[in-house]
Amino acid sequence: MSSETAQQLEVVPRTFAEFSARKSWPEILDHARQLHGAKQVGLFGQGAYESWVSFNYQGYDFSIVDSGSRYSIAVDDSSCDFPLLHVVQRHFAALLSPDLSD
């Protein structure tokens, strides 16, 4: 495989959920740790606007970042199956938007 082909096969992140920024980073971190099967859960960065939560779930790397007044959830690989994205989205909806989690 040429290096040009390898570059074309790079992993492309996919943002798949957004929620109003109503909770603190420690609350989001604790909630990420409660996702059954989540690994390598951590809070990274400095301060309220330069921080993010990262975790691995079912072999995919996920991140939650502050996008102004909203939290965006992304997966590192755009080929991640929808049912898996739905599990993660519903898990965080329970914390970040409980009225939408049912």
Q: Is residue 88 part of a domain?
A: yes
Burial environment of residue 93 by CB neighbours within 10 A (0 to 12, 13 to 18, 19 or more): middle
| Pair of tokens at residue 54 | 């990262």
Residue 33 neighbours by CB under 8 Å, 6+ apart:
41
The whole-angstrom separation of Cα 51 and Cα 55 is 14
**pLDDT given for residue 42 in this prediction:** 93
Q: Is residue 2 part of a domain?
A: no
CATH number for 46: 3.30.310
The whole-angstrom separation of Cα 65 and Cα 25 is 10
The whole-angstrom separation of Cα 52 and Cα 31 is 13
Q: Is residue 25 part of a domain?
A: yes
Distance from first CA to last CA of the chain, Å, rounded?
Answer: 46
Q: Is residue 84 part of a domain?
A: yes
Q: Is residue 3 part of a domain?
A: no
Q: Is residue 30 part of a domain?
A: yes
Question: What is the tally of structural domains in the chain?
Answer: 1
Rounded average pLDDT per 10-residue block, the chain, 102 residues: 50 86 92 96 78 95 90 93 96 87 50
Structural domain boundaries enclosing 27: 12-100
